[in-house]
Amino acid sequence: MLNQQNLTVNAAGHLAIAGVDALELAGRYGTPLYVLDEDMVRARMALYVRAMKEHLPAGSRPCYASKALCCKALCRMAQEEGMGLDVVSSGELYTALAADFPPEDICFHGNAKTEEDIHYAVSGGVGFIAADGEEELERIDRIAGALGVKQKVLLRVTPGIDPHTFAAVNTGVVDVKFGVPIPTGQALAVTERALGLQNICLAGFHCHIGSQIFEPGPFLLEVDVLTAFLAEVRERTGYTAPVLNLGGGFAVAYEEADGVPDCAGMIAAIGERLTQRCGEYTYPAPAVLMEPGRGIVAAAGVTLYTVQNVKTVPGGRCYAAVDGGMGDNPRYALYGSRYTALVADRAAEEKTHAVTLAGRCCESGDLIGEGVPLQEPHTGDTVAVLVTGAYNYSMASNYNRVPRPPIAALRGGESRLIVRRETLRDVAMFDL
Ligand code: LLP
């Protein structure tokens, strides 16, 4: 089992999540089931809020990257715990507004926002729009002008940093679809353009270098490049940025070997480096925003499945086929991401088998993992896959017209649904 305090084995030998028996949850809500330890989510949110308040300039705060897990309940938790919110589509913005999240605490992202997206964000009163480039700045300026709004904007820049994470989440290098590169001189030119637009107010800059970053190093480099850029911008234009958004990317441990990243320590290191660099440039320290997603919700999530059948191919592998798969967790099929799993019925038993956890979709690549260490699996067992709180529900699909699972949240030892299970009627809902 992963070294997580909220995961224990109870007197019946079952896995307990935040003290609640996993088999009881599976019986009550059915499987597949996403379980979310709400107490842990809130504690993680509070930790980021506290660390950023303590170690970063006045006005600094974390904004929950809702792409990691977006539903109304999560938006409410973020608001109650004092976080801002990062949304990346009109759908995420709609969800936040429907949960009464204060629009002024929302930053709207995206590298290909439509006219409708921008109109919705500006008229919805979002605090910031992160503009991805010059064309978009002009579009925001035009739409804000038509709505009679002066829209606060952050310009997304790319610093030319490679945090050496996996390619699909590596966003800081120059040749990438996001943002305007600093090293090519384009970021400075676009900043000059932004300062000339009437209906936008350039509040500062945004940068996200990637995900699953375990060490402070890449973030410190990000601070170095961005503060040098801020100083250059000031020298060329006289503009001083009040806000610097450093993006998300704090890693989580998916397997025992991963080690647990010290996010408060990383934030402290970022604060120290920022103070140092701002001192060197005699630059007024900007308020820092950061956008943790995975770091907030991943470890709080466990997915429960029921084993439908077990087969061992002579000379081959042992398969346990479950009632979910790439529809509710596409991360192994997409990225080869490895997970820790266990048989919840016999959680204390030794893991004697290397199991291919197969999903129910009609393709052989639908796997949750290969060679996963597991107790001997039997048909009817409840298998728990750990650390599935981020980018599982939010990336789920109805492939093969399989309804998506519900999310049960645990708080103070009690469970409740925060997203209901989809029905067969739901999966055909849009058919005419
Ligand atoms: N801010 C921006 C602008 C981002 O693009 C992202 C993630 C975040 C914040 C949050 O990053 P986090 O703290 O969660 O690492 N589907 C992939 C992850 C894609 C992340 C994209 N952007 C996965 O399943 O690993």
The domain containing residue 157 runs over which residues? 38-297
**What separation in Å is there between the alpha carbon of 211 and the centre of ligand 1?**
6
Domain contains 1: no
pLDDT of the residue at 1: 67
Q: Same domain for 280 and 309?
A: no
Q: Quick one: how many helices (H) and strands (E) in the chain?
A: 12, 21
pLDDT at 173: 80
What CA dihedral angle connects 354, 346, 298 and 41, to 10 degrees? -170
Residues 356 and 308 in one domain: yes
Provide the 3-class DSSP secondary structure of residue 334: helix
**Domain endpoint, select from 297, 329, 350:** 297
Nearest in space to 347 (alpha carbons), one of 29, 39, 11, 37 = 11
pLDDT the model gives residue 162: 79
432 located within any domain: no
pLDDT of residue 399: 98
The CATH number of residue 419's host domain is 2.40.37.10
Q: Do 285 and 339 belong together in one domain?
A: no
361 within domain boundaries: yes
CA of 247, closest atom in ligand 1 = 1
What are the angstrom distances between the C-alpha of 112 and each of 90, 130, 173, 276?
12, 11, 18, 35
**Joined tokens for residue 180:** 């305007």
pLDDT value, residue 245 = 98
Q: For residue 140, is it within any domain?
A: yes
Residue at 360 is within a domain: yes
Low-confidence ranges of the chain (pLDDT < 70): 1, 165-170
Same domain, 133 and 278: yes
Distance CA 320, CA 341 (A): 12
Q: Examine the fold and report which residue of 277, 297, 317 is the final residue of a domain before the chain moves on.
A: 297
Q: Which atom of ligand 1 is nearest to the CA of 291?
A: 9
Ligand 1 atom nearest residue 109's Cα: 3
The SS3 assignment for 142 reads helix
Domain boundary among 247, 270, 297: 297
Together in a domain, 276 and 376: no
List 62's β-bridge partners, or say none. 290
Please state the atom number of ligand 1 nearest to the C-alpha of residue 166.
25
Within this chain, do residues 247 and 336 fall inside the same structural domain, yes or no?
A: no
Q: Residue 127: name the closest of 180, 182, 63, 32 by CA.
A: 63
Ligand 1 mutation pick, 211, 263, 331, max ligand atoms within 8 A of CB: 211
Residues 282 and 307 in one domain: no
103 and 65, same structural domain? yes
Number of domains observed in the structure of the chain: 2
Q: Is 362 a catalytic residue?
A: yes
Pocket test for ligand 1, best of 111, 165, 252, 294 (most atoms within 8 A of CB): 294
Annotated active-site residue in 71, 75, 361, 362? 362
Q: Give the pocket of ligand 1 (CB within 6 Å).
A: 65, 68, 86, 109, 169, 208, 211, 247-250, 291-295, 331, 390-391, 395
**Cα of 246 to ligand 1 centre, how many Å?**
12
Residue 2 lies in a domain: no
- Is the separation of the CB atoms in 287 and 59 below 8 Å? yes
- How does strand 84-87 pair with strand 61-65? parallel
Please name the residue whose Cα sits nearest to atom 8 of ligand 1. Answer: 248
Q: What is the CATH number of the domain that holds 97?
A: 3.20.20.10
Residue 229 lies in a domain: yes
58 shares a domain with 12? no
In a domain, 326, yes or no: yes
Pocket probe for ligand 1: among 89, 291, 392, the residue whose CB has the most ligand atoms within 8 Å is 291
Containing 107, the helix (H) or strand (E) segment is strand 106-108
Percent helix, strand, coil in the chain, to 5, is 35, 25, 40
Please tell me whether residues 47 and 165 are part of one structural domain: yes
Indicate whether 75 and 206 sit together in one domain.
yes
Burial of 423 (0-12, 13-18, 19+ CB in 10 A): exposed
Residue 192 near residue 237 (C-beta atoms within 8 A): yes
Distance CA 221, CA 204 (A): 18
Q: What's the whole-model pTM score?
A: 0.97
Task: Please indicate, yes or no, whether residues 156 and 249 belong to a single structural domain of this protein.
Answer: yes
